[in-house]
Amino acid sequence: MVTTLAANIAVLVVRGGDDPAAPTRSEQQARYVAASGRMSVSPNAVAPLGERLTPHILVAGPATLPADVVERVRGAKGVKGVEVVDAVQGMVAGKQVGLMGVDPSTFRKYTPKPTAKSDALWRNVASGDVAISFTMGNDGGVKLGSEVPVGGRKEQSRARLRVGAYATMGIGDVDAVISRDRARALGMPAGNAMLISVPKAEPRTFIKKLRKVLPKGTKAVEVNPEIDFPRAGRVPDAGGQVMTAGQVRTVIRAAYSRLGWPYVWGGESEAEGGYDCSGLMQYAFAQAGIRLPRVAADQARAGWVIPYSKAQPGDMLIWANDPTAPGYISHIALYLGDGKMIHAPRRGTVVRIQNVYTRNMRGAVRVSPKLVNSLHR
């Protein structure tokens, strides 16, 4: 009925953009939390927020995770918390996205602080609403309070649910969350995924141990791995570590060829009729033989992050604009030099060249073909 999230399990993406004319993050944060509160339709009980935990690892498989495996992970050294969820790649408002069925009372503590703190948001989810990522709403054009189809790829496997909140969950490739009751009604696999918090362990080392006990076909990935900030912005300059001059020229020419194309959230080719910010980057770099990951947060790990002051043509620029998940990379652009960039800004705009703005900017990414290859292993 629905494809499991394990088929496209990656780090959190927030697709979309921002510009200097947009509201500040604090203004947006207040707006969407307030909107979620006003829209609460039921006083469904949701447990108060306790200690927040950082999810370091996401495990997902095609079927329910065995109870003994879950308990073994809970009791493993270094594990501070385990949250079992339902996870699929489903359809929400006509887009294929990562969709999770959760217990609002317990899952909330694994989300970014603005999302975790909103009682009203989680009451809405408990009441049967769907919460979608900030950029799916802001740049995807899905309105708060609207009713949208949610579920499988076939019409008969979907239900129309109300959009009860904009709230990025901080988990790779997940743009929508519903209650587990709703997930059951939609036929989603039950308990086929879990989040693991291991604050004092190295996630990659823990994942190697996990693979020894996980069922066949189950995948484990690191949630939002650290971005590499090298000392003084130094990066290797030879041996295939960075792009050749020819590759840089090809990437820039390819991006120029998309000028004027509409911004389409989730767009990555002519077939979608346009591009979003990360879709444009993926297209441009592909023309130079570099297969970037699909989304901005992953693309930011495709090389070394350096200060904007050291950016060169062909580098990517990255921003953290999402008010519901501060710190997550939510927009990306291609640097052209001389303070200019080309990007797909947001809904209602087209691919264009404009002056670089630095509000919420996190630096530039010097793309490494070798590092890109490692991201696909």
| Each residue's pLDDT tens digit, 336-347 | 999 999 999 999
Report in angstroms the alpha-carbon separations of 80 from 46, 198, 291, 301.
22, 6, 36, 26
Residue 288 contacts residue 243 (beta carbons within 8 Å): yes
Distance of alpha carbon 110 from alpha carbon 85, whole angstroms: 12
Task: State pTM to two decimals.
Answer: 0.81
In this structure, are strands 130-132 and 158-166 parallel, antiparallel, or unpaired? parallel
Sorted by sequence, the CB contacts under 8 Å of residue 348 that are 6+ apart come out as 263
The per-residue pLDDT for 43 is 55
Among 35-39, 113-117, 121-125, the range with the most confident prediction by mean pLDDT is: 121-125
Residue 146 identity (one-letter amino acid)? S
The per-residue pLDDT for 152 is 75
Report in angstroms the alpha-carbon separations of 54 from 6, 74, 199, 229, 260.
20, 15, 7, 21, 40
Distance of alpha carbon 261 from alpha carbon 280, whole angstroms: 10
Neighbours of 143 (CB within 10 A): 12
Q: Is the dihedral of CA 143, 5, 374, 72 positive or negative?
A: positive
- What element of type H or E holds 195? strand 193-197
Residue 255 has pLDDT above 50, yes or no: yes
In this structure, are strands 340-343 and 352-355 parallel, antiparallel, or unpaired? antiparallel
Q: Is the dihedral of CA 90, 93, 94, 95 positive or negative?
A: negative
Distance of alpha carbon 304 from alpha carbon 230, whole angstroms: 7
Segment among 22-36, 243-257, 268-282, 299-313 with least mean pLDDT:
22-36
The per-residue pLDDT for 10 is 34
Residue 240 has pLDDT above 80, yes or no: no
Residue 368 has pLDDT above 60, yes or no: yes
Which one, of 255, 272, 224, lies nearest residue 332 by Cα? 255
